[in-house]
Amino acid sequence: MAVRSKWKQLERNSRIATLPAPYLSPISILDRTILGKPIEDLVQDVHKNVFKPVDILRAYGKVAVKAQEKTNCLTEIMIAEAEEWAESEVDLKGPLAGIPVSLKDTVIVGGFDASVGYSSNTGKPHPEDGSLVRLLKDAGK
């Protein structure tokens, strides 16, 4: 099992290292503005085209990457996929309007492992999204 957990750690580190440059840069003034707003205000800002969903994703993504560096808190890194979704599939008038969501690794996301913290569950990505992820995507698209 140590081999699986080591492989999963290397995969996670590789996904972080190959993130688009904005996620690896320092937190900007714009990021701080976004991070300081309540979610309902961010949704309204997306509805009014003040911010794009990708702007919000990048601000929160930077925080996630910094948290990972300090606490080793992330399992699956889906930021690049989330960026593609934020730029192409988000309904800018939806109730979540592209607000990023962090999920525990017990939630089934298509194409990714739901390890539930067990290395024996890694390397077995689920073919499609589970019901919770479908509901969240429907609320944001």
Q: Quickly state the pLDDT bin for 71 (edges 50, 70, 90).
A: very high
Q: Which domain holds residue 105?
A: 2-140
CA distances from 115 to 5, 25, 48, 104, 107 (A): 10, 29, 38, 10, 9
Encode pLDDT of 84-100 as tens digits: 888 888 888 889 887 99
Q: What is the pTM of this model?
A: 0.88
**Top-confidence residue, 67 or 1:** 67
Q: Quickly state the pLDDT bin for 69 (edges 50, 70, 90).
A: very high
Encode pLDDT of 39-50 as tens digits: 999 999 999 999
What pLDDT, on the 0 to 100 scale, is given for residue 129? 93
Overall domain count for the chain? 1
